[in-house]
């Protein structure tokens, strides 16, 4: 590997890591919002909240998989 290609690979890895951090922060904010909404509405069913959380986690997993494929 030449110096330029090594630097390019490191730059790509750094960008992918930053994307992963952003995606993780986004997931945290979304999950916090969902948790706050569930706390404000105690009558909401657990099943509905579970399905919603599962969808959010699946979406985040797909997004993280895409980011990791870039590395």
- The per-residue pLDDT for range 26-40, each reduced to its tens digit, is 888 888 887 787 777
Residue 21: name the closest of 69, 70, 67, 71 by CA.
67
Contact (CB, 8 A) for 34 and 52:
yes
pTM of full prediction above 0.85: no
pLDDT tens-place values along the chain, 71 residues long: 577 888 888 888 899 889 888 988 988 888 888 778 777 776 666 777 788 888 988 888 888 888 888 77
How many CA within 13 A on the CB side of residue 45? 4
Q: For residue 7, how far is the Cα from the chain centroid?
A: 26
And the tokens for 41? 């509405």
């Amino acid at each position: 590997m030449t110096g330029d290609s090594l630097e390019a690979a490191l730059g790509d890895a750094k960008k992918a890591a930053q994307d992963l951090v952003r995606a993780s922060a986004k997931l945290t904010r979304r999950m916090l919002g969902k948790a706050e909404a569930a706390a404000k509405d105690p009558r909401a069913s657990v099943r509905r909240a579970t399905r919603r959380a599962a969808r959010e986690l699946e979406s985040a997993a797909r997004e993280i998989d895409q980011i990791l494929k870039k590395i």
